[in-house]
Amino acid sequence: MICKKEIWIYAETESQKIAPSYYELLGKAHELKESLNEAYEIVAVILSDSAEEVSKELRSSAVDRVYCLEHEKLGNYNPEYYAAVLSEFAKKHKPEMLWIAASAIGGELAPSVAALLNTGLAAHCVDILINDKGELVHLVPAFGGKLLTEILVPKTRPIMASVKPGIFREREIACSKEAELVFERAEILDSMESRFKLVEEQEMQSSGLPVEKAEVVLAGGRGIGNTQTWEKLKELAGRLDGAVGYTRSLVDIGLEENELNMIGSSGKSVRPKLYMGFGISGASHHISGIKDSGTIIAVNTDDEADIFDSSDYKIVADCDRILSALLEVL
Ligand X SMILES: Cc1cc2nc3c(=O)[nH]c(=O)nc-3n(C[C@H](O)[C@H](O)[C@H](O)COP(=O)(O)OP(=O)(O)OC[C@H]3O[C@@H](n4cnc5c(N)ncnc54)[C@H](O)[C@@H]3O)c2cc1C
Contacts with ligand X by CB under 6 A lie at 221-223, 225, 247-250, 262-267, 279-281, 283, 285-286, 299-302, 305, 318-319
**Apex CA 119: angle with CA 118 and CA 123, to 5°?**
125
If the CB atoms of residues 60 and 258 are measured against ligand X, the closer one turns out to be 258
For the CB of residue 226, give the shortest distance to ligand X in the complex, in Å: 9
- Among 218, 210, 216, smallest CA distance to 278 is for 218
Pick from 196, 191, 195: nearest CA to 88: 191
Which long-range contacts link 10-15 to residues 24+ away (Cβ below 8 Å)? Answer: 10/45, 10/46, 10/86, 10/98, 10/99, 10/100, 10/101, 10/106, 10/109, 11/44, 11/45, 11/46, 11/54, 11/58, 11/66, 12/100, 12/101, 12/103, 12/105, 12/106, 13/46, 13/48, 13/54
Minimal distance in Å, beta carbon 82 to ligand X?
Answer: 24
Please list the residues that pair with 27 across neighbouring strands. none
Which is closer to ligand X, CB of 21 or CB of 300?
A: 300
How does strand 136-142 pair with strand 147-151? Answer: antiparallel
Nearer to ligand X, 47 or 305 (CB): 305
Q: How many other CB atoms sit within 10 Å of the CB of residue 155?
A: 8
Cis ω before 141 (30° cut-off from 0): no
Task: Report in angstroms how near the CB of residue 125 gets to ligand X at its nearest.
Answer: 16
Q: Which of 151, 280 has the CB closer to ligand X?
A: 280
Measured between alpha carbons, how far is 72 from 78 in angstroms, rounded to an integer?
12
CA distance 121 to 112: 10
Q: Helix crossing, 79-93 with 106-117: angle to 10°?
A: 50
What distance in Å separates the CA atoms of residue 22 and residue 5, rounded to the nearest whole number? 20
Question: Nearest approach, Cβ of 300 to ligand X (angstroms)?
Answer: 4
Nearer to ligand X, 6 or 320 (CB): 320
CA distance 42 to 157: 16
> Shortest Cβ distance from residue 283 to ligand X (Å)?
4
Closer Cβ to ligand X, 194 or 266, answer by number: 266
Closest distance of CB 318 from ligand X, Å: 4
**Identity of the residue, 13 or 288, whose beta carbon is nearer to ligand X in the bound complex:** 288
Question: Cβ of residue 271: shortest distance to ligand X, in angstroms?
Answer: 15
Shortest gap between Cβ of 322 and ligand X (angstroms)?
8
Backbone angles phi, psi at 231, to 5 degrees: -65, -35
Q: Which is nearer to ligand X, 198 or 253 (CB)?
A: 253
- For ligand X, the closer of residues 137 and 262 by Cβ is 262
Q: What is the DSSP letter of 170?
A: P
Query: CB of 264: closest distance to ligand X in angstroms?
Result: 2
Strands (E), 136-271: 136-142, 147-151, 159-163, 180-185, 216-220, 243-246
